[in-house]
Structure formats: C-alpha cells, structure tokens
Amino acid sequence: METPWVDRAPLEIVRSNIRFSLQPFDAPPEPETLIRLFDHMQSDELVLFSTDYPHWQFDGQDALPEGLSPDLVRKIMIDNPHATYPRLT
C-alpha cells in the first residue's frame, strides 16, 4: 500500500531477479542449516556455483558445502546456470 509501484511480494521479486553464488560462502558449517536456508528462500533455483576466482583458495577445503544432495549439486552446477544464462547451452 505504501509503495504502489511494487506489484509483487518481495520474495517473488527476489526469486525473479537475484541469484546467489557459493563463493565466498558465509554460512554456518552445519549442512542442516544450509538446507533450511534453501527452504526459507522457497527455492533451490537461486544458487549458482562460483569459484571466487582470482583467489586460489575456497572457504575451507571444498568447492561445495557439505551435505548437499546429488540432485541439489546438479541444480547448482548445471541446471541453475543454464536457466540463468540460456546462451550457455
């Protein structure tokens, strides 16, 4: 009501216009917390893989956080980038 030019809920605007990358990754180390974060965003389609290049180290030792399911890893590594950047295919 106070912003009549906003015609959708903020969550819908974020899901259609914003993507998040994994590096640098600032989240609690527990895998359950990361999965709960995806649930709060109501989407696992907003996360893209990134390397933090030109830095030669990751946050920790792994390129991906621990505890991700194989389906979620595929979305982060392949499906989400293709949906975000259709010219990649």
Which pLDDT tens digit goes with each residue over 32-85? 888 888 888 777 888 888 877 777 665 566 778 778 889 989 999 999 999 999
Residue 58's pLDDT is what?
59
Residue 81's pLDDT is what?
92
Average pLDDT over residues 7-23: 87
pLDDT at residue 20 greater than cutoff 90: no
| Phi, psi (rounded to 5 degrees) for 88 | -70, -30
DSSP structure class, residue 20? E
**Token pair belonging to 54:** 């030109």
Residue 57's pLDDT is what?
64
Residue 61's pLDDT is what?
66
